Amino acid sequence: MPTLSRDDTLMVVKATVATVIAWVVADRFMGSATPFYAPLAALLVVDRTIVRSLGQSVRRIFAVGLGMGLAWLVGTTLGLHWWSMGVVILGALVIGRWPRLGDHGIQVPSMALLSLLTAGGTSEDFTAITLLETLVGGVIGIAVNVLVFAPLHVEEPRERVLDFTRRVRALLDEVAEGLRGDWDKDAVDGWRSTADTLHEEAPTVIDLIELGRESQRLNPRDEFQKVKPAWDGYQLTVEGLHRSTWHVSGLTRTLRDNLDDQNRGSHPSHDFLGGIADVLDEVSAAFDDFGVDADGALESVGSRLGGAVGKLEDLATLLHDTPLDDPRAWPVHGALLHDCRRLVEELRTRADDAVVPLAD
């Protein structure tokens, strides 16, 4: 049996409650002979945010109306025949692919077919009661979603941003420490794997940020929240780190390709790699204050990243003034410097507006 998160469990409970209430209303208060449409609508509109519930409800009602309206139009003008049913279904399938309807597009051909088979597409009463039940079910689903612990996704996005930032810093520390020691192919492959994993994970974190931002819209619980997340700042932080992991991955690819080169004379010297490690140390230290809302934090970040730029310039000067034993080593050194420079610049351009949540 799958394990559900707290949010998923709450959604399941609310969808169940909304479905039952909608069925009772349709059966006992509306006198529906087939109290099916209201509970189905209520079931399908309970979503992770109030905004999405509203959107789902509107799309579902619109899809049902399009399907039944198309069936009514053809049924009253052409009558019910095998070829007129083909016209209805063809048109409904085309309309159902309209992107604005989303997953509810399937309701267009479904409701058109149901209307034709049960009422020949000509019953105005059947069309009206079905639309009314769908509307009532949607309203009940939205009401339950709003009134029963309205979904507010604030904690998880903040935790993921903070965790993502920590893991990027840990990767920089690991690479810096490794370059000063006896690193090998396995170590480089591990660094690259971690960098690629972080790069692939970043869009998921950004999606969570957008979910958190959306969950506050129209949400009555938002007025009682003590924490007001800086969603724009969080997104800038993750976007910057997303691009930064690409440059770390590029650095590891350069190291890996160089290890495969049989010409040992083209390998970077231990001193040069130590200089690269010093640059990564400065970048890592910048994370102490990166995105922190405190006096002197921005100046501290600027100082650290400025120090990283200075060390890169020193390395470039050293390469320029010191002839290499093998001229074929220039591309390797240049690639390492380029990836480090791009890494620093990604953080420098976002330092002013980035925000990293506090651990508490």
Nearest to 44 by CA among 141, 150, 147: 141
In contact, 185 and 256? CB cutoff 8 Å: yes
pLDDT tens for the chain, residues 1 to 360: 566 778 888 899 999 999 999 999 999 988 887 788 899 889 988 998 999 889 888 888 889 889 888 888 888 888 888 888 898 899 999 999 999 888 889 989 988 888 887 766 667 777 788 889 989 999 999 999 999 888 888 889 999 999 999 999 999 999 999 999 888 899 999 999 999 999 999 999 999 999 999 999 888 887 777 668 899 999 999 999 999 999 999 999 998 888 776 555 467 888 889 999 999 999 999 999 999 988 899 999 999 999 999 999 999 988 777 766 666 677 888 899 999 999 999 999 999 999 998 766
In contact, 138 and 45? CB cutoff 8 Å: yes
Place of tokens 């979503």: 47
CATH architecture of the domain formed by 155-350: Up-down Bundle (1.20)
Radius of gyration of the chain (CA): 30
Place of tokens 């930032």: 165
In contact, 201 and 38? CB cutoff 8 Å: no
Q: Is the CA virtual torsion 255, 257, 262, 266 positive or negative?
A: negative
Question: Structure tokens of 311?
Answer: 């060390």
SS3 label, residue 11: helix
Angle between helices 185-216 and 155-179 (to 10 degrees): 160
* Alpha-carbon gap, residue 188 to 258, rounded angstroms: 11
The domain ranges of the chain are 6-147, 155-350
Question: Structure tokens of 6?
Answer: 């707290």
* Alpha-carbon gap, residue 45 to 104, rounded angstroms: 10
Q: Which residues contact 166 (CB under 8 A, 6 or more apart)?
A: none
In contact, 336 and 274? CB cutoff 8 Å: no
- Between the CA of residue 146 and those of 11, 100, 185, 229, 259, what are the distances in Å? 12, 24, 54, 21, 58
* Alpha-carbon gap, residue 66 to 87, rounded angstroms: 14
Residue 125 has a pLDDT of 79
In contact, 315 and 336? CB cutoff 8 Å: no
Q: Is the CA virtual torsion 203, 204, 207, 212 positive or negative?
A: negative
- Between the CA of residue 163 and those of 156, 298, 338, what are the distances in Å? 10, 21, 27
Nearest to 130 by CA among 110, 145, 146: 110
Residue 284 has a pLDDT of 96
Residue 253 has a pLDDT of 92
* Alpha-carbon gap, residue 230 to 161, rounded angstroms: 11
SS3 label, residue 351: coil
* Alpha-carbon gap, residue 118 to 126, rounded angstroms: 9
- Between the CA of residue 336 and those of 128, 273, 341, what are the distances in Å? 69, 9, 9
